[in-house]
Amino acid sequence: MNYEALIPVIRKLALEAGDKILEIYNADDFDVKVKSDDSPVTEADEAADAIISAGLRAAFPDVTLVTEEQADSHTVSSDTFLIVDPLDGTKEFINRRGDFTVNIALVENGVPTRGVVYAPAKERMFFTRADGSTIEETGPFDADTIGETKPLSVTNPDNGALMVVASKSHRDQATDDYIGKYNVRDMTSAGSSLKFCLIAAGEADLYPRLGRTMEWDTAAADAVLRGAGGQVVRFDDLTPLVYGKDGYANPFFIAYAPGVDLQSA
């Protein structure tokens, strides 16, 4: 994959999809349907998926594409593939909470190596550069020209006073019990893939997820976190989270800044 060619394309598509999502988000009303797995899908999910899929297929016709909203793409197997969640945080979108993101990633040999996460309502964009390092773009979000950016790096955690980020929509007792194993200075909540990005930006140290996710939910943010020096491991055995699994379902996992003294399950 030519990373120099990839990054401008995925950044632009994320912005274009984000503009469409905001157009629908700011409307008086929008359609919500229920998928076969009982999860919600909106016209914004579908419109963003159409924009991103068309753009990726035009730019990279020989690269496998896996996208949440196209079930026929979920059975394709390849060592190298692009994976998309056009609107992660649909429940946040429906409830007009703003913590939703556009996610596009490249996976190579089980590792998300490049990615972009755009939170249009929050006006935050995170992406990896061609060299794999991560930056946050702070505006003005022109589709053809990268604006002001700052390099991102995870914190050097203080294990006596950790900042933990957890889900707004998926907190449970098991998660709270696990967090209770750490010395926590404070906790913050965020929706969708933004939790990874807060660690990448040095705004949090640890994010445990003891719940169901799919690879398209995490791949782009995983790439962003890795590019800032962070890591993502399985909850059960603390081995690196890998991608391209059968069915694209993730196990429970922990995203963190190296230096956190990880506790066992």
CATH number at residue 170: 3.40.190.80
pLDDT value for 192: 77
**Are 28 and 135 within one domain?**
yes
**Are 11 and 132 within one domain?**
yes
**Are 126 and 196 within one domain?**
no
Specify the residue for token string 């999809």.
17
pLDDT value for 118: 98
Query: Which stretches of the chain score pLDDT less than 50?
Result: none
User: Which pair of tokens denotes residue 78?
Assistant: 């390849």
Q: In this predicted model, what pLDDT tens digit does every residue of 199-211 receive, in sequence order?
A: 999 999 999 999 9
Q: Which domain holds residue 221?
A: 162-256
Asked if residue 100 belongs to a domain, the reply is yes
Question: Residue 24 CB: number of other CB atoms within 10 A?
Answer: 19
Asked if residue 156 belongs to a domain, the reply is no
Asked if residue 261 belongs to a domain, the reply is no
pLDDT value for 251: 97
pLDDT value for 168: 62
**Are 106 and 198 within one domain?**
no
Asked if residue 53 belongs to a domain, the reply is yes
pTM above 0.85, yes or no: yes
Query: Phi, psi (5° rounding) for residue 170?
Result: -130, 30
**Are 85 and 193 within one domain?**
no
pLDDT value for 38: 65
pLDDT value for 190: 86
Asked if residue 28 belongs to a domain, the reply is yes
**Are 120 and 243 within one domain?**
no
Total tally of structural domains belonging to the chain: 2
Q: Is 124 helix (H, G, I), strand (E, B) or coil?
A: strand
Query: Phi, psi (5° rounding) for residue 127?
Result: -155, 160
Q: How far apart are CA 3 and CA 59, in angstroms?
A: 12
Instruction: For residue 54, give the CATH number of its domain.
Output: 3.30.540.10
Start-to-end C-alpha separation, the chain: 37
Helix, strand, coil % (nearest 5) of the chain?
30, 30, 40
**Are 146 and 166 within one domain?**
no
Angle at 146 between CA 127 and CA 138, to 5 degrees: 65
Asked if residue 265 belongs to a domain, the reply is no
DSSP class of 229: T
Asked if residue 263 belongs to a domain, the reply is no
